[in-house]
Structure formats: C-alpha cells, structure tokens
C-alpha cells in the first residue's frame, strides 16, 4: 500500500517562533521579528519545528496552506534568521579539525561495542522501542533521498553521474514498490504504525527535526553544496553496519518481513554506495572544485554531531 498522498496538517506549536509561523501559514497572522529567531535556542524544539515547517513548504506543504507561500519574502526573511542561528551553532559545535581524508576514515571506525541506538535495539530493544524509533525516523524516511536531490543541478561530470546513480537506487531503480520511502512505509505497516506522510511530526523530537532540517538547509543553498555531499557521504558510509544491527533487531523481535527487509536492503545497497560516494561523488566534486574539501568535511562533522544528539536523546528516554 503506497504512503498516503494527502498533505499533512500543520503541527502543534512549541513556542513563540513555531506558533507565529504556523499562525501565519494558517490565517495570515503576524510573523516574528528576525531578532526573535536569532535569540532562540538553536537546537531547541521551537526553532527546529518552525524551521521544519518552513522547509516542508518546499516538499509537500500542509493542508489548507497556499502553495504560493513557499516563496513568501517576509517568511523567507524569518527563515534566513533561523538558518543563521542554526548554522552558526553547528559551525561552533562541529568544527573541522582534521583533513577530509581523516574525517572520512573516521566514519569507518565503529562505535564502542554496545553503545548507540543500533546496538541497543539489536541486543535489548523491544517492539515498543522499534516503533518509537520508526516514528522519529519517518520524518526523513518517508521522503528518503528527496533532500539530496537538490544537489544534482549543482554538480557536474563524474560527481553528478555518481550522485544520480545512487539516487536512482534510492528511488527504486524504476520500480515504485522499491522506492526506499515506500519500503519504509511497508516497515511502518509491519510495526502497526500509520504510514501517512507527516503523521508523527508532533512526536518528532528536536534532535530528529534538526537532522532533517540539516539536509534541507544544505540542499536549498547552492553555497552549501559541498556540505550536502558531506552529509550524504556520512549517511551512506555509516549506514551498512547500523542497518545490519537494525535488521537483527527486527528479526529478533518478530517485527515482520517488510520491517526486516528495509534494513537488509540498506546493508547491501549502501555498501556499494559507499565506494561510489568516495570515488565518484566526492572525488569528482573535488576534481572540479578542490576548495570545497572543507565544506564536505563540515557536512560530515555536522551530521555526526546531530546523530549523536539524537542517539543520546533516544537512549535517555528509553533508559529513564
């Protein structure tokens, strides 16, 4: 059964920023001053939800919200202030302190055995944990690969060809039933969850919102194309071992064949993608634009920083 095509509802606000943005989209209420965004907690629920809502206008939008607001100048000014607050915090908290090669090699180092969400789910996770995890990840996986598609017009030659080849796989290689977003919807069905796009936005925690926002931030700004390639590399290179553990968790708990298949598919596909990313996408990009090496490295360190924040949040919730 395909994911629901209906536009999602606007989420419940979590503070003054998100309340003002949703009120503006719903009935034309006043927008907050950009200074309000610049003073907000950069990783907090309020800013991250408001930013997510702004970005979602570039994907499927919201029920009852005019598509014309996607490019509303005053709204874009508020979004720019939130982006600046978020990006400034990321550059402070995820600095690049090594060469790109060293940063890439660091992705191949496995976390300490027994630490992290995949280890927890593999060894101790129950179905309730898997459902909670799927709800969070649905904010991305029901539009898997869409944010990365923004970079395609900004690449050329070997980098564009390599990126397009991976995206082709992510979008099912011509088969609607193998689109990765559809495979995740099938996983959710096995877990007894609603597959409607955006259904669990109100349950999305701030670290998960920040991870999805990171992709949109990098993807929607041409100047950050190197950072988006770095983010993509981080996802593809670290996916295979984590997916293996998550597949084991699905099998051990009897989650269902589609739930298990989503992760076994990523074990195989992302092991191949890793080589294409390093050789063709990054290699091709830096052959054309060597000055972007630091941006690629930043995309990797920022992704790792936010993934760590999400992992810490989920484990704290589950172990409380």
| pLDDT tens string 262-298 | 999 988 776 778 889 999 999 999 999 999 999 999 9
Dist CA 216 CA 212 (whole Å): 7
Whole-prediction pTM: 0.95
Question: pLDDT tens digit string along 153-181?
Answer: 999 999 999 999 999 999 999 999 999 99
- Answer with the residue of higher pLDDT: 109 or 319: 319
**pLDDT, mean of residues 52-64:** 97
Residue 1 above 50 pLDDT? no
Categorize the per-residue pLDDT at 3 as very low, low, confident or very high, splitting at 50, 70 and 90.
very low
State residue 113's pLDDT score. 63
Over the chain, what is the mean pLDDT? 94
Residue 249 above 50 pLDDT? yes
Question: pLDDT tens digit string along 62-101?
Answer: 999 999 999 999 999 999 999 999 999 999 999 999 999 9
Q: Which residue stretches of the chain are H helix?
A: 16-27, 34-38, 45-56, 73-93, 100-107, 117-123, 127-141, 146-149, 157-170, 180-190, 206-220, 225-253, 257-276, 283-288, 293-319
Residue 114 above 80 pLDDT? no
State residue 314's pLDDT score. 97
Q: How far apart are the first and last CA of the chain?
A: 36
Dist CA 61 CA 10 (whole Å): 9
Dist CA 213 CA 45 (whole Å): 12
Give domain limits for the chain. 16-93, 100-319
**Top-level class of domain 100-319:** mainly alpha
């Amino acid at each position: 059964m395909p994911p629901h095509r209906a536009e999602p509802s606007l989420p419940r606000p979590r503070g003054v920023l998100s309340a003002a943005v949703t009120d503006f989209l719903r009935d034309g209420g006043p927008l907050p001053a950009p200074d309000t965004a610049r003073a907000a907690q950069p990783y907090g629920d309020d800013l991250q939800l408001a930013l997510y809502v702004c970005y979602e206008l570039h994907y499927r939008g919201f029920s009852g919200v005019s598509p014309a607001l996607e490019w509303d100048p005053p709204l874009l000014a508020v979004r720019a202030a939130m982006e600046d607050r978020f990006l400034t915090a990321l550059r402070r908290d995820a600095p690049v302190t090594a060469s790109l090669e060293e940063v890439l090699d660091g992705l191949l180092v496995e976390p300490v055995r027994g630490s992290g969400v995949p280890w927890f789910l593999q060894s101790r996770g129950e179905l309730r944990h898997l459902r909670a995890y799927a709800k969070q990840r649905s904010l991305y996986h029901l539009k898997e690969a869409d944010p990365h598609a923004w970079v395609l017009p900004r690449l050329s030659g070997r980098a564009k060809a390599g990126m397009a080849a991976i995206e082709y796989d992510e979008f099912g290689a011509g088969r609607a039933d193998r689109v990765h977003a559809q495979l995740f919807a099938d996983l959710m069905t096995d877990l007894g969850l609603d597959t409607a796009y955006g259904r669990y936005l109100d349950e999305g925690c701030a670290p998960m919102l920040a991870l999805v926002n990171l992709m949109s931030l990098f993807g929607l700004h041409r100047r950050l194309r190197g950072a988006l390639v770095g983010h993509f590399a981080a996802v593809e290179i670290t996916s295979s071992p984590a997916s293996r553990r998550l597949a084991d968790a699905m099998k051990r708990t009897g989650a269902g064949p589609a739930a298990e298949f989503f992760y076994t598919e990523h074990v195989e596909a992302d092991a191949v993608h890793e080589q294409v990313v390093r050789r063709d996408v990054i290699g091709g990009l830096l052959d054309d634009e060597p000055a972007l090496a630091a941006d690629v490295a930043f995309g990797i360190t920022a992704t790792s920083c936010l993934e760590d924040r999400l992992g810490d949040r989920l484990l704290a919730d589950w172990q409380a």
